[in-house]
Amino acid sequence: MDKVILTGDRPTGRLHIGHYVGSLRSRVELQNKGDYDKFYIMIADVQALTDNWDNPEKVRQNIIEVALDYLSVGIDPSKVTIFIQSGVKGLYQLTCFYMDVVTLARLERNPTIKSELKMRNFGESIPVGFLTYPISQAADITGFDATVIPVGDDQLPMIEQTREIVRSINNIYGDTLYEPKAVLPENEACRRLPGTDGDAKMSKSLGNCIYLADDEETIKKKVMSMYTDPNHIRIEDPGKVEGNTVFTYLDAFVKEDSFEKYLPEFKNLDELKAKYQQGGLGDVKIKKFLFEVLNEELAPVREKRKYYEEHIDEVIAILKKGTEEASAHCDQVVDRLRRNMKINYFDNDDIASNYR
């Protein structure tokens, strides 16, 4: 079995540091290790339209933004196929067939769908396309025979649902699809980075993000107004580290040499946390440190972005070539499924065999 990696993002906004630690950073590591047969990254515009159907222009604009984000964090189009979901027509066919093996009750039980529905306040008017996007996501994964899916933990229920669909299809039609495996970041803080407001998840839809493309001043402003411990009022007060977003971000971003470079009076994060808990360490100090750490990581990303912004035709060509490549692979999977379903009526004369 080939090792095929697939991940994707919804073009609903620019990518943020939650994406970076949850998925982008490990994509670049995987890419550089080279231990795979194929590596796909999908810009999920069809999925983005399920809750932005009335604002297609937003989705359209963000396709380029997301592509720029990929390239600026170091995704290398000579190693990875970047493509646009809507251009891969085989995916619509797979989605359609998979719909038959999933019940409405199962979709309504999907925990990610449940919380996303609540967040979006659809009330009684839930778009069918939104409710069924886990099925279309199963098509996205299986349509390229993907086996390894690096994601944040909000995606685990989606991968589980995909595995169920694969098992159903294989049971009915014989071995056709591969069961994918989710790969989460080892560092727990990275699996679901909270928003700058302390909300459980940094999310484009919640507006609590530090974007990869934010300039230095913007990052500084966002960091300085971040949620910490509301009871840590004076510097002398003992502070809480758990649920303190600044510390969660430090957990996700601090490197071995960060203290030596930007806060040499402490040796490591454990020492810094202990001091904060004991009292005598102000929020301004930890926020300034976090800003330095973040800025060091994001400055080269901004630089690279500038290059691609000035060479936008290169970006378009990358997307076009990637979408063609991805389509060719997906067509093979569709053919395989149609053959196993025996609905490839015109490939042979089987359909008329009773009459011959």
- Return the number of other C-beta atoms located less than 10 Å from residue 304's C-beta: 15
25 binds ligand ATP (CB under 6 A): no
22 binds ligand ATP (CB under 6 A): yes
Question: Smallest distance, Å, CB 339 to ligand ATP?
Answer: 32
DSSP string, 45-68: HHHHHTTTTT-HHHHHHHHHHHHH
9 binds ligand ATP (CB under 6 A): yes
Question: Smallest distance, Å, CB 135 to ligand ATP?
Answer: 16
- Return the number of other C-beta atoms located less than 10 Å from residue 175's C-beta: 11
7 by DSSP, 3-state: which? strand
Rounded distance, CA 139 to CA 158, Å?
A: 11
Sign of the C-alpha dihedral computed for residues 31, 37, 42 and 47 taken in this order: negative
Question: Smallest distance, Å, CB 250 to ligand ATP?
Answer: 15
Question: Smallest distance, Å, CB 245 to ligand ATP?
Answer: 11
26 binds ligand ATP (CB under 6 A): no
140 binds ligand ATP (CB under 6 A): no
The residue from 50, 112, 176, 205 that contacts ligand ATP (CB under 6 A) is 205
106 phi and psi angles, rounded to 5 deg:
-65, -40
27 binds ligand ATP (CB under 6 A): no
340 by DSSP, 3-state: which? helix
Rounded distance, CA 95 to CA 97, Å?
A: 6
192 binds ligand ATP (CB under 6 A): yes
Largest separation between any pair of C-alpha atoms in the chain: 92
Q: Which stretch binds ligand ATP (CB under 6 A): 57-65, 125-133, 166-174, 197-205?
A: 197-205
Q: Which residues contact ligand ATP by CB under 6 A?
A: 9-10, 12, 18-19, 22-23, 151-152, 154-155, 192-193, 201-205
